[in-house]
Amino acid sequence: MTVAGVWGGQFLIEQRTSGVVWKSLTVLLLLGASAVGILIAVPRLPIVNESIRNLFFHVPMWFSMIMVLLVSVWYSIRYLRNPSERLDVLAHESAKTGIVLGLLGLATGSLWARFTWGAWWTPDPRLNGAAVAMLIYGAYLVLRGSFRDEQQRARVSAIYNIFAFAAAIPLLFVLPRLSGPSLHPGQTGNPGFNQYDLDNTMRQVFYPAVIGWILFAFWLTQVSSRFAFLKLKHDEN
């Protein structure tokens, strides 16, 4: 599924036509999932209460961040095999989309933590992992900013992108499982919402929301990379 996501993402981001169909689907899914997610009856669980609806926002944001960052790494690998300005721009813009979604995920997660655990931030391994991921991509942007030569910038930042992803991201999935009990759901087994998925109606909103957010991430990347290409073209003339 992940591989299909990366390939599909590249296809959608680099698409030359307007893509009315999948973009209207994105709008439909996002608006629909948000509206239905707020309106439907949800299971009444202690402590979580109504904030369980955040599941339709917070979790899809993380999923789409991981997906678009994977796309970014894949562009970086492609760049190293076959360098071109185009692939560098695509890797950079995908990473930026990932940062935006990561910050959104942190914000929604922090809000959720405040209402359920009583603090904006806790020393939970998952939260720390999220912060580390943001620091890594912040460092990626700093690295890009410290080059004058464009080809060198493209090559070295591609290398850092791959290295950072390989060294740190898998651990964000491994470490939380090693570190024992946690407040965050999905501690053992598949990360997700095990303790909530008793309710099938929630799944029927959750999955469309995930697809919607992932498509939205690709759309955002497409728009910003088209803008970057235009800027490049403008600078050349």
List contacts with other proteins (CB under 8 A). Answer: 80, 125, 128-129, 132, 135-136, 138-139, 142-143, 146-147, 151-152, 155-156, 158-160, 162-164, 166-168, 170-172, 174-175, 178-179
Q: Which tokens sit at 83?
A: 């360098």
C-beta of 146 vs 237, nearer to other proteins: 146
User: To the nearest whole angstrom, how small is the minimum distance from the Cβ of residue 72 to other proteins?
Assistant: 16
User: To the nearest whole angstrom, how small is the minimum distance from the Cβ of residue 6 to other proteins?
Assistant: 19
* Angle, vertex CA 191, rays to CA 189 and CA 193, nearest 5: 105
C-beta of 43 vs 170, nearer to other proteins: 170
| C-alpha pair distances (Å), 219 with each of 6, 26, 34, 78, 224 | 14, 9, 18, 21, 9
C-beta of 17 vs 146, nearer to other proteins: 146
Q: Which tokens sit at 77?
A: 């690998």
CA-CA distance, 220 to 71, in Å (whole number)? Answer: 13
CA-CA distance, 220 to 93, in Å (whole number)? Answer: 9
User: To the nearest whole angstrom, how small is the minimum distance from the Cβ of residue 48 to other proteins?
Assistant: 28
User: To the nearest whole angstrom, how small is the minimum distance from the Cβ of residue 109 to other proteins?
Assistant: 18
User: To the nearest whole angstrom, how small is the minimum distance from the Cβ of residue 43 to other proteins?
Assistant: 34
C-beta of 139 vs 183, nearer to other proteins: 139
Terminal-to-terminal C-alpha distance of the chain:
42
C-beta of 163 vs 207, nearer to other proteins: 163
116 close to 54: Cβ distance less than 8 angstroms: no
